[in-house]
């Protein structure tokens, strides 16, 4: 290192050429990554390797090759690290007959807290995830959103420095989503390192601009979401509109400068628009409906789902 170069900041979570195979199936493929404090979004379609990555980081899986370090130590077979890390797993495995409060107290005891400390910690996390009112009901009666809140509370019980959250917002309603996102943002502001997985770009983007994109076990991109979006935006997006008077809509659309092409498929109701400026296009849509005097009943874009984003990034 030359004297003018700044030394690299130590990473909180680090993967060094890490691979994990399940027999013939590859879960994570030669992945290197360094993550520091704050929220990092881990994005990828189903089967991308997100859960495998989180399980490697939390010591539930051993790397087949390469190395994983969390807070400077190897997580595999290192029970001591569990005091500093918390995991909100994707799957739901709670003792159904227990109350939420009882479950969290048990988790506190398992995390090494004494009786009194576990009781206090359970009360604290119940407040954090806004589950105090339902805390004395059995878990078996909880909705999906309440279960997600309880799972997150479980990850927070020992107030860990590093948090791994596997699809924590799946199955939550908009209110829970907002509250859980605020909670995660607040925890990050206090200096924690949080890795949150999701397959929905929008969700993660609301939480953080720092994202890791994975596909088929590989790291596809890592960095600021805007830079990654720029990459995506360089490709034409196909947006489908549906309405009873598609000809009126199409007649207006062909005159827009940000529309590169308009197709009218055989189904009689839809229009497929190609644009390189999807954000601007979406903003102008209400104006289109007004000017054309024709309602738009449905809008969707296959390009919004990550599968196609990956297709662009992997096979540009
Ligand atoms: N226990 C296992 N045994 C065999 N293959 C596995 C196992 N766990 C994961 N895999 C495979 O490893 C690959 C990565 O899976 P992983 O669950 O890590 O992806 P993911 O991004 O978390 O996907 P999802 O969002 O569907 O959970 C997939 O091909 C998956 O089928």
Distance 47 CA to ligand 1 centre (A): 5
Q: Count structural domains, the chain.
A: 2
Residue 221 bridge partners (DSSP): 213
Pair 144, 251 in one domain: no
- Pick from 85, 98, 220, 205: which is nearest to 150 by CA? 98
36-63 tens-digit pLDDT: 999 999 988 888 899 999 999 999 999 9
Distance 298 CA to ligand 1 centre (A): 33
Is the predicted pLDDT of residue 153 greater than 90, yes or no? yes
Pair 91, 172 in one domain: yes
User: 3-class SS at 99?
Assistant: strand
Which uninterrupted H or E stretch holds 28?
strand 25-35
Domain-terminating residue out of 225, 248, 280: 225
- Pick from 297, 236, 292: which is nearest to 263 by CA? 236
Pair 154, 270 in one domain: no
Average pLDDT over residues 225-248: 80
Domain that holds residue 253: 234-314
Residue 157 lies in a domain: yes
What are the structure tokens assigned to 108, written together? 């506190």
Residue 8 lies in a domain: no
The angle subtended at Cα 53 by Cα 228 and Cα 184, nearest 5°, is 70
Top-confidence range, 152-161, 258-267, 270-279: 152-161
Question: Which of 15, 44, 50 gets mutated to test ligand 1 (max ligand atoms within 8 A of its CB)?
Answer: 50
Is the predicted pLDDT of residue 80 greater than 70, yes or no? yes
Pair 121, 44 in one domain: yes
Pair 56, 21 in one domain: yes
Which uninterrupted H or E stretch holds 281?
helix 278-292
Pair 219, 92 in one domain: yes
Is the CB of residue 271 less than 8 Å from the CB of residue 245?
Answer: no
Pair 36, 169 in one domain: yes
Residue 26 lies in a domain: yes
- Of residues 52 and 170, more confidence is placed in 52
Pair 221, 247 in one domain: no
For residue 23, which atom of ligand 1 is closest to its CA?
4
Decide whether any atom of ligand 1 lies within 6 Å of the 22 Cβ: yes
Pair 215, 248 in one domain: no
Give the CATH number, domain containing residue 37: 3.40.50.300
Pair 212, 101 in one domain: yes
Domain-terminating residue out of 192, 225, 258: 225
Decide whether any atom of ligand 1 lies within 6 Å of the 41 Cβ: no
Residue 65 lies in a domain: yes
What is the value of ipTM here, to two decimals?
Answer: 0.96
64-74 tens-digit pLDDT: 999 999 999 99
Pair 284, 178 in one domain: no
Domain-terminating residue out of 196, 225, 254: 225
Residue 4 lies in a domain: no
Residue 245, exposed/middle/buried by CB under 10 A (0-12, 13-18, 19+)? middle
Distance 86 CA to ligand 1 centre (A): 20
Give the CATH number, domain containing residue 286: 3.30.70.100
């Amino acid at each position: 290192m030359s004297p003018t170069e700044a030394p690299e900041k130590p990473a909180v979570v680090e993967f060094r050429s890490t691979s994990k195979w399940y027999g013939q199936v590859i879960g994570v493929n030669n992945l290197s990554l360094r993550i520091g404090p704050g929220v990092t979004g881990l994005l990828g379609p189903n089967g991308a390797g997100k859960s495998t990555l989180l399980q490697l980081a939390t010591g539930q899986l051993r790397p087949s090759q390469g190395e994983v370090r969390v807070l400077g130590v190897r997580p595999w077979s290192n029970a001591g690290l569990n005091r500093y890390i918390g995991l909100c797993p994707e799957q739901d495995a709670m003792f159904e007959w227990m109350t939420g409060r009882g479950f969290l107290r048990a988790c506190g005891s398992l995390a090494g807290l004494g009786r009194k400390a576990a009781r206090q910690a359970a009360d604290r996390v119940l407040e954090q995830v806004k589950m105090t009112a339902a805390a004395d009901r059995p878990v078996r009666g909880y909705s999906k959103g309440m279960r997600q809140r309880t799972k997150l509370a479980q990850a927070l019980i020992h107030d860990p420095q590093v948090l791994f959250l596997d699809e924590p917002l799946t199955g939550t309603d908009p209110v829970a989503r907002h509250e859980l996102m605020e909670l995660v943002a607040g925890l990050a502001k206090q200096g924690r390192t949080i890795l949150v997985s999701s397959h929905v770009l929008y969700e993660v983007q609301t939480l953080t601009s720092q994202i890791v994109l994975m596909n088929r076990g590989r790291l596809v991109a890592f960095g600021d979401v805007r830079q990654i979006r720029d990459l995506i935006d360089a490709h034409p997006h196909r947006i489908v509109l549906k309405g009873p008077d598609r000809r009126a809509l199409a007649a207006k659309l062909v005159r827009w400068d940000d529309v590169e092409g308009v197709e009218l498929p055989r189904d009689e109701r839809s229009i497929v628009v190609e644009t390189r400026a999807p954000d601007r296009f979406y903003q102008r849509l209400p104006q289109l409906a007004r000017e054309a005097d024709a309602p738009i009943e449905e809008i969707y874009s296959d390009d919004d789902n990550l599968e196609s984003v990956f297709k662009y990034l992997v096979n540009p």
